[in-house]
Homo-oligomer: A and B are copies of this chain.
C-alpha cells in the first residue's frame, strides 16, 4: 500500500497550567493509505514546533520536511517502516526537532501496517509474546505532604499496586521537606506498594544533594530515584550510581526520558550507570528507535521502562515496544484526569485486568482507536502562511 496523507491534529485543553503535566496538549498524527486504512500516533513535544517539521520549506538537502520524506512511499512490511524512519531521518538530518516530530508518524506507520497485515505491533517489531506488566500510577506530588498523602490515598482507592510521585515541591525545600513528601506518599500507599520517586532533574549536577536523597528514600522503600540530575550530566550520574552501589544503598537510579535520540539513551546506559532507562516513544522518534533502546537495555542488563505522560495512544505504543521482554515488568501509566488521557482513544485503551496488570493487545496495529469527537472538540486550528501562501492549515479529522 502507499502513504496517501499525513494529517496533523494539535489538541489542547482550554486552559494550560504551568505544571509539569504533559497531558494538557498533544500532537496527534494520522497516516492514511491508498487502500483506505489509517494509522495513528502521538508526539510528546510542543505540537506547533513539531508540526512545522512536517511542513516547513526545504533549507538544503539535509533540511527537508517529514511529509516530503514519506508521502507516496510504499509500506508493506516491517522493513518498510524501518526504511522510512531512516529516510525521514536523512531528509531531516539537520532538523533538531526531527525525532520529537517523526515519532508520531513512526507510531502511525506501525499501527497502519499492523492493520494491513492483521498483526499486533509487538509481533511486527520482533517479539514472540506479549507479557503482562505492572502499571504504576504516575502522578505529580501535591504542594505539600498532606496533599501528597491525599493523592496516595486516591491511588490506593483506585487499586493501583505501584505509584510514582514526581516534580512539584521535590528538591525545592530542605532534605527534611523532601523526606516528608516521600513519607506522606509511603504512608498513603502502605508498606507493600511499590513507590517510585521522580525528582524532575532538580539537583542539576549536584551529586551530594542527590546522594543524600537516595539514602533517605531507600529507607522508605523507594524502588528508584528518577532524574535526580540533568540528562546531560552523564559524569555526575555515573558518580552518583557508583556511590549508591559502593555503599549498598538499596535504591535504583533511573533516567532517560530526556533522550531525544538513540545515542543519548545508549550514552546514558553505557556511561551513566543507570539501573532503569526510561524512554518516551513519543520523543525518541517512535517505536522503531525505542525498540533499539529496549534491545540494547536487554543486552546490558538494564531495565527498560516506558516514559509516558500522554493519552492511551501513547500508552499503547509504549507497551508494544517492550512487550516481549519478561524482565521489563513495570510500565508507567498516566493516572491523572485530563480529558485527553482516556478521551483520545475512548472507549478503547490499555486497561488493567483483574490482577491490575496491563498488556500490549493482540488486536491488529496498536489495538486502540482514535476518537474523532475528542479530536474535534479539543483541536486548535493552526494556519501557517509564507509570503501570503498557505503552507499548512488544520482540517477536521
Contact = CB atoms under 8 A, between A and B. Distances in A.
A382 B381 contact: no
Interface stretch (A29-37, A89-97, A131-139, A147-155): A89-97
A152 B56 CA distance: 34
A383 interface: yes
A263 B234 contact: yes
- Which of A49, A62, A264, A283 neighbours the largest number of chain B CB atoms within 10 Å of its CB? A49
A302 interface: no
Contacts of A300: none
Contacts of A96: 45, 49, 96-100, 260, 283
A351 to B, nearest CB: 25
A60 B21 contact: yes
A364 to B, nearest CB: 31
Interface residues of A, number: 59
Given A260-B96, A380-B387, A52 B57 contact: no
A60 to B, nearest CB: 5
A154 to B, nearest CB: 21
Interface string A182-212: 0000000000000000000100000000000
Contacts of A58: 16, 18
A24 interface: yes
24 contacts: A16-B59, A16-B60, A18-B60, A19-B61, A20-B60, A20-B61, A24-B59, A24-B60, A45-B63, A48-B52, A48-B386, A49-B53, A49-B56, A49-B95, A49-B96, A49-B97, A96-B96, A96-B99, A231-B263, A232-B262, A232-B263, A267-B271, A380-B387, A383-B384
